Amino acid sequence: MPPRNLFWKYRKEKVIRQNQYKLLVNEKETLLYDLDKDLGEYHNLATEQPQLVTDLEKILNEWETEMNQIPQKTL
């Protein structure tokens, strides 16, 4: 089975996990981690890998748009 992206959104943060990379976006910052090398998420790679950030943000925004089109049930 090919690897799949993992997405989640909590409060004002949204995240994509693709392979070893985790991109977290919130109102204040964009963080990129290589979890194979930095499981503790200490070294933000966003400035070192701007193209990867752009690519992952695009996928993340497409996912968010798709999720916003699903009708929400009222409890």
Instruction: State pLDDT tens for residues 24-64.
Output: 999 999 999 999 999 999 999 999 999 999 999 999 999 99
DSSP state, residue 71: P
Q: What is the pTM of this model?
A: 0.85
Please work out, in degrees rounded to the nearest 5, the angle formed at the alpha carbon of residue 21 by the alpha carbons of 16 and 26: 45
Give CA–CA dist 2/9, Å, rounded.
23
In a 3-state reduction of DSSP, which class is residue 65?
helix
Domain ranges of the chain: 6-68
CATH top class, domain 6-68: alpha beta
DSSP state, residue 28: S
